[in-house]
Homo-oligomer: A and B are copies of this chain.
């Protein structure tokens, strides 16, 4: 779809990073005044965030699921189960 519309020129990684932040703001807007949000609207805004994430992953020539798994492995080592159970502190405060 992007190619057919000649949109590639706008898809510099920097612009995609800005777009992810912009769409993340729209997603957050679903929860601006309350924790209750319309699931259909949340889904739509989440799809927009993901779309730009996938375009950026494509630019970086990485697989989205693979980089998540790679990062989780690092995180799992930083937050051992015994220490992190039921806590939300950052790893350097455990």
For chain A, residues 52 to 78, give those with C-beta under 8 angstroms from any C-beta of chain B.
53-54, 56-57, 60, 62, 64, 67-68, 70-72, 75-76
Copies in the complex: 4
Interface size on A, residues (CB 8 A): 61
For chain A, residues 22 to 40, give those with C-beta under 8 angstroms from any C-beta of chain B.
22-35, 37, 39
Which B-chain residue is minimally distant from A11 (CB atoms)? B33
A70 engages B47 (CB within 8 Å) = yes
- Give chain B residues whose Cβ lies under 8 Å from the Cβ of A42: 13, 17, 56, 60
Q: A17-B42, A20-B27, A32-B22 are in contact. Are A5 and B50 (CB under 8 A)?
A: no
Which B-chain residue is minimally distant from A33 (CB atoms)? B88
